[in-house]
């Protein structure tokens, strides 16, 4: 089977997408872990609600793009790799289970927020 290696320009574009995707991933980690901290500390402030807005927006984007990040779709143009981390600088296991891991964390945040709002 013949493999088509990406050109230097395609490699550069893929690298930029991977950097951008990784930076967005780091940003959302900061958002999600602040949200977790906030609900544990009963600090239901504007930042928590902005975090919910960002998570909701991310969910809408994933729904629009059939559960795929638009950056993954863009990166696919420059790589035929079947690895889960072809489009982001993460370990492959984390890239593979990223949605499941963070969905569970967000569900915990939602549960704790509901508890703080309605049970205390």
What are the structural domain ranges in the chain? Answer: 8-118
- Give 44's pLDDT tier (boundaries 50, 70, 90): very high
- Helices 8-40, 46-64: inter-axial angle, 10-degree rounding: 140
| Cβ count near 16 (within 10 Å) | 13
Count CA within 13 A, CB hemisphere, residue 8. 0
pLDDT digits (tens, 9 = 90+) for 61-92: 999 999 999 999 999 999 989 999 999 999 99
pLDDT at 8: 81
Residue 74 in contact with residue 17, Cβ under 8 Å?
Answer: yes
What pTM did the predictor assign?
0.88
CB 71 within 8 A of CB 24: yes
């Amino acid at each position: 089977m013949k493999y088509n290696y990406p050109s230097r320009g395609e490699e550069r574009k893929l690298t930029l997408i991977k950097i951008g995707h990784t930076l967005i991933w780091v940003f959302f980690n900061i958002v999600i872990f602040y949200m977790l901290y906030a609900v544990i500390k009963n600090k239901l402030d504007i930042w928590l609600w902005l975090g919910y807005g960002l998570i909701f927006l991310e969910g809408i984007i994933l729904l629009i793009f059939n559960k795929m990040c638009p950056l993954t779709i863009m990166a696919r143009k420059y790589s035929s790799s079947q690895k889960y981390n072809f489009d982001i600088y993460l370990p492959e296991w984390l890239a593979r289970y990223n949605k499941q891991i963070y969905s569970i964390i967000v569900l915990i945040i939602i549960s704790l927020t509901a508890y703080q709002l309605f049970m205390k």
